[in-house]
Amino acid sequence: MAESVLELAIKRVMGWFLPVINLERVAYILHRITGFYLAIYLPLHIISTHNSLNPIAWGEELKLYSSPLIKAGEIFLIFSIFFHGLNGLRLLLVEYFNIFLPKTMPSSLYLEKILSLHNPQKTVLYIVYILSIILTILGTLYLYNILTLRW
């Protein structure tokens, strides 16, 4: 039974979505989704700002941007930037610099907790989640001129 490339790709990507097993897995999937989102956003942004040279096309584009779907997309963009950046930093620290690895291994086989899914690695994960949500709220307030920055 031959499957097309698209069917296979969709089937493989759908394999990411299981019921929540742990928060690290949720972060993994969010990291990929936000990564795709940023990769699609950046070229579109460059194309659309290029249109600002033409006043008529730019006016039409501004009308398009006032739709609620685009507004929701903007808020998700703020979340994407902060979450993808902070989680990327976490992964660098955890995976490549290995600064949170336990110094000694336990002698017992019957552990009360799974070492890689507890402190200090879990704390860093919580910090990433909380910081990115706070920064998304602040960024949204700044975007809609409720909050202003004074330098």
Partner 1 sequence: MSREITVSKINAPSQQLAVTKTITKLMRVKIKRYNPETGKFKFSEYKVEVSRYDTVLDVLMRIIRDQDHTLSVRYSCRMGICGSCAMMINGKPRLACMTNAISLGESIYIEPLKNFPPIKDLMVDMDSLFRKHRSVKPWLIRKDEEEQFLAKKEYLQKPEEVNAYRIFSTCIKCGVCVAACPTAASNPRFLGPMVLAQAYRWSADSRDEGAKIRLEIVDSIDGVFGCHFAGACSASCPKNADPALAIQYLRRFVLTYKR
Helix H or strand E encompassing 118: none
**What are the distances in angstroms from CA 98 to CA 93, 95, 111, 131?**
6, 5, 22, 22
Separation of alpha carbons 8 and 71, rounded Å? 33
Q: Binding of partner 1 at residue 61 (CB under 8 A)?
A: no
Quote the CA–CA distance of 39 and 61 in Å, as a whole number. Answer: 21
Q: Rank residues 96 and 151 by Cβ distance to partner 1 and give the closer one.
A: 96
Considering only 40, 101, 131, 147, the residue that binds partner 1 (CB under 8 A) is: 101
Cα–Cα distances (Å) from 115 to 89, 112, 120, in that order, read 21, 9, 9
Site string for partner 1, 19-38 (x = CB under 8 A): x-xx-xx-xxx-x-------
Contact in structure between 136 and 82 (CB atoms under 8 Å): yes
Smallest distance, partner 1 to C-beta of residue 26, A: 9
Residue 105 touching partner 1 (CB under 8 A): yes
Q: Which DSSP letter does residue 3 get?
A: -
Please report whether residue 151 would count as binding partner 1 according to CB under 8 A.
no
Min CB(150)–partner 1 separation in Å: 40
Binding to partner 1, residues 115-144 (CB under 8 A): 115-117
Q: Are 76 and 82 in contact (CB under 8 A)?
A: no
One of 4, 43, 68, 96 touching partner 1 (CB under 8 A): 96
Contact positions vs partner 1 (CB under 8 A): 1, 12-13, 15-16, 18-19, 21-22, 24-25, 27-29, 31, 91, 94-96, 98, 101-102, 104-107, 109, 111, 114-117
